[in-house]
Amino acid sequence: MRETWRWFGPKDPIRISEVRQTGTAGIVSALHHLPAGVVWSPQEIAAHQRRISHDGGQPTGLAWEVVESLPVSEDIKRQTGPWRDHIAAWKQSLEHLAAAGIPTICYNFMPVLDWTRTALARPLPDGRACMAFDLIDFAVFDIYLLKRPGTDYEPAVVEEAGRWAKEMDDTARTALARNILCGLPGSVETLTLDTLKEHLALYGDITPERLRANMVEFLEEVTPLAEALGLRLCCHPDDPPFPLLGLPRVMSTEADYAAIMDAVDLTANGITLCSGSLGARPDNDLPGMMRRLGARVHFLHLRNVHRETAGPPCSFHESGHLEGDVDMVALIAEARAEEKRRVAAGRADANIPFRPDHGLDMPDDRGRLGQPGYPLVGRHVGLAELRGVIAALDRSAA
């Protein structure tokens, strides 16, 4: 398992020379300043590689190994406007990334919102802080702030949301909206309530079946090229893994992944197995998914969640990497087993990249104001724990 670390580029308050001290082997990054739909030029890619390989003129020994994300435009997801041009640009970017030697490309197919949380720094009893998704808070946002017609929450959720909405003052309401609209780490786009409403209207007639068909069509276009270039595409799951705001979501379960893998049956059509996103549903068996879908898992996001209510949809908060509802040790054991199968099969990609996904905010992280969920100390603790699990499993298998 190859250790990697997500770095957000020059805006990231964590310097590459600091990342190096975590002992990580490679960097996950993106050209966050470019909007979806444009070509990533060789010059832009090379400049970013240089930002990673050098800090203050000094070599860092680190290289850009995984792209997260090469954004898929809303037009491609809906098949509207210049979507064919956007696919052509995506393919051109793949050619440039392959020429630059970056083999693994993560993307997602979530309409409008990427990850969604109602709290970005909820204090835990021991003083750490975590990101959380509270279904009642989300319903308050949806029903009382966004005022979306036709919401379909359970009656008990609507009732509770009504009580909470009365108790919230303007400051609390503004903070809630800001947290929910934050949903795209490092992106150039910032949503407001009004732009969100406009985006939702554009998805009015797009059913999950239609979105899945559009995704398959997109993959039929881009995957053969990726395969020929020796690249591995890997789709990140929906986070949280259930529909929000009436938008379709099609990458939430094992069955969703199996359908997409079967529809475009090439190794380059792969998965970013994010244990924290998928783990917010009790019916997602993460070690089992790693065992059954493993041959197509090209990238692992390892983090954990603690589910607070039954669901989906449900409330949950992010926990320490070894503390939540996902059996992280069993999941890593399955990832190691997959790597052994790849070695036996002579596959060149036997070393699967993973990153410690998210981390709890710990004391020294508070002053940095980095990307929510991406603190230096909290993530380093997560990496250290995961590294310990891997070492212990390897020792007992030897």
Which residues are CB-contacts of 360 (< 8 A; sequence separation ≥ 6)?
124, 128, 129, 130, 318, 319, 320, 375, 378, 381
Q: Which CB sits closer to ligand DNO, 68 or 339?
A: 68
The nearest distance, CB 319 to ligand DNO, in angstroms, is 15
Structure tokens at 203: 């998805």
Active site residues: 236, 274, 301, 357-358, 374
Q: Which CB sits closer to ligand DNO, 86 or 140?
A: 86
Residues found near ligand DNO in the complex (CB under 6 A): 68-69, 106-108, 114-115, 185, 236, 301, 357, 373
Give one word for 325, left, alpha or beta, with left for phi > 0 and alpha for psi -120 to 50.
Answer: alpha
Which residues are CB-contacts of 95 (< 8 A; sequence separation ≥ 6)?
225, 229
Q: Which CB sits closer to ligand DNO, 241 or 313?
A: 241
Distance CA 4, CA 103 (A): 14
Which residues are CB-contacts of 287 (< 8 A; sequence separation ≥ 6)?
327, 330, 331, 333, 334
The nearest distance, CB 185 to ligand DNO, in angstroms, is 5
What H or E segment, with its residue span, contains residue 380?
helix 376-397
Tell me the pairing of strands 316-319 and 129-133. Answer: antiparallel
Q: Which CB sits closer to ligand DNO, 114 or 361?
A: 114
The nearest distance, CB 110 to ligand DNO, in angstroms, is 7
Q: Could you tell me how far CA 106 lies from the centroid of its own chain?
A: 9
**Spatial contact of 285 and 254, defined as CB atoms under 8 Å apart:** yes
The nearest distance, CB 219 to ligand DNO, in angstroms, is 15
Q: Which CB sits closer to ligand DNO, 72 or 143?
A: 72
Between CA 194 and CA 264, with CA 76 as vertex, the angle to 5 degrees is 140
The nearest distance, CB 159 to ligand DNO, in angstroms, is 32
- Looking at residue 28, what DSSP letter applies? E
Q: Which CB sits closer to ligand DNO, 120 or 161?
A: 120
Distance CA 384, CA 390 (A): 10
Q: Report phi then psi at 354, rounded to 5.
A: -135, 155
The nearest distance, CB 8 to ligand DNO, in angstroms, is 10
